[in-house]
Amino acid sequence: MTRLLLLAVPALLLVAACQHRQQGPVETVETKGPAPDPTWNVVQMEMQLLTTVLENAMRAVGDGDVSHVAKELHQLHQAKEATEAAVKDGSYTLPKGSDQVPTFLAMDDAFHKQLEAMVRASRANDVPAMAQAIGNTLNACHGCHALFRDP
């Protein structure tokens, strides 16, 4: 009983904190990413799309329905192919490490395999698996940026 009370007190405090927050104006959140900018190169396009898809996936976790995420991830696959082609034919030059194209392509490949876990979670509409897959995906951003993105 004491244990139950100990659990109940912080829970009540949390509820009180949430209610307090709701007294202010309700913030609206933009659900779409920035409109494509004609000055973006092919990788910037992919990265902006990636960021938007991840933001939407995170919202889907909150909504408890991740079934639509797979469709959005599909667009990323097309963006990846555009990136690969541009890196290979030289129409896009990496801002850093441009002499290590094979490493970049391998990292990009590994990264997109990581995204497949999100696709699987979406197809199963498995919310906890999606949360886990988003976390793993986010862990993979920095490694590639450290090597190939000009800060």
The answer to the question of residue 79 lying near ligand HEC (CB under 6 A) is no
Question: Per CB under 6 A, which region of 6-14, 73-81, 120-128, 135-143 contacts ligand HEC?
Answer: 135-143
Over the window 84 to 123, marking each residue x when it contacts ligand HEC by CB under 6 A and - when it does not, the resulting string is: ----------xx--------x--xx--x------------
Instruction: Assess contact for 68 and 127: CB atoms under 8 A.
Output: no
What distances in angstroms separate CA 14 from CA 11, 21, 26, 94, 135, one per listed residue?
5, 11, 19, 47, 25
CB 118 within 8 Å of CB 57: yes
Contact between 140 and ligand HEC by CB under 6 A: the answer reads yes
| Phi-psi map region of 90: left, alpha, beta (phi>0 left; psi -120 to 50 alpha) | left
15 binds ligand HEC (CB under 6 A): no
The residue written with tokens 């900018």 in the block is 37
Closest approach of Cβ 93 to ligand HEC, in Å?
8
Locate tokens 């890196």: which residue?
A: 87
Contact residues for ligand HEC (CB under 6 A)? Answer: 40-41, 43-44, 47-48, 50-51, 54, 94-95, 104, 107-108, 111, 137-138, 140-141, 144-145, 148-149
